[in-house]
Structure 1
Amino acid sequence: MNSHELFHTLHQLSRHLTNTLNEALKPLGLYGSQWSVIFVLKSKGSLTQKELCEYLFVEAPPMTRTIQRLVKQGYVLQVPGKDKREKLIQLTDVALKMFPLWEKTVIETNQSLMKHFPETSQEELFHLQKSWLQQLL
């Protein structure tokens, strides 16, 4: 396979998956990018914006917009950190209450996308993705 085919196919797949997730979350008032931030904060606890950027491989300007939107929606707070310049991003009680509904929607969307693959293929795909990502980090 030519390397441009790999990048082209991954880009198309990524766009399709992103759009599918956005459509699933739209009735709940979220986008996939917001879900990613919420999921990481739920999994790892409070993080700085820089830590979120590094973990999610997102540049600062789009992360700032995502965080600002989540603050306006009442899903995250920016609280002072140890350093006066540092702000920790953390989930609100509202977000923690909504999390199971968002997670259910994401899981159902994932299952819908994967339903045509045998379970062994799904497990292999997940393993390959995790292994590849670990090699890149």
Structure 2
Amino acid sequence: MMNDENKNVCYKNVTLEKIKRLGGIYIENIQEGFDSYNFSYLEGTKDEIQKEIKRLQEKNGIAYSFVDFYYGRLSNKEKEKVKQHLEEPYLKILNKYEDLNDVTYLLLEDEILCLTSELNAKEILFSTYYFCKYPCTIWGNYQLKYPVFTNK
């Protein structure tokens, strides 16, 4: 394990409670989302979907845009499988998150958007996007079909 002086922690994590306090829609399971919220689907290519998520990030602002990231919860063997499916630019980003050891909620900065979009699109590791200023939650991908939940 690296010591603190060698660690280059570049991510900005927040608590789930903060996301909820800011108005984010948190859903325990997909069925709860369908039962309790309005929903539609975001569909398209990986690039089209990433562009729409980026638009929502810009509309809400970084301070109100988040993503959950489950990489820290994976075993070492599972992490290696994730890495085998990524190309070099994504591996460079992923390496910055090696020290995570649980589910982490992150500010949706461009770099993590790029990585999670790739992981979602390839169905390697799913992430959910939370937007709080104009509340909506985009649930991880099912064959490039993302449920989008908004308040009723």
TM-score, normalising length: structure 2? 0.28
TM-score, normalising length: structure 1? 0.30
Q: Larger % of helix: which?
A: 1
Instruction: Look at both structures and tell me which one has the larger radius of gyration over its CA atoms.
Output: 1
> RCO greater where, 1 or 2, for CA within 8 Å and sep 6 or more?
2
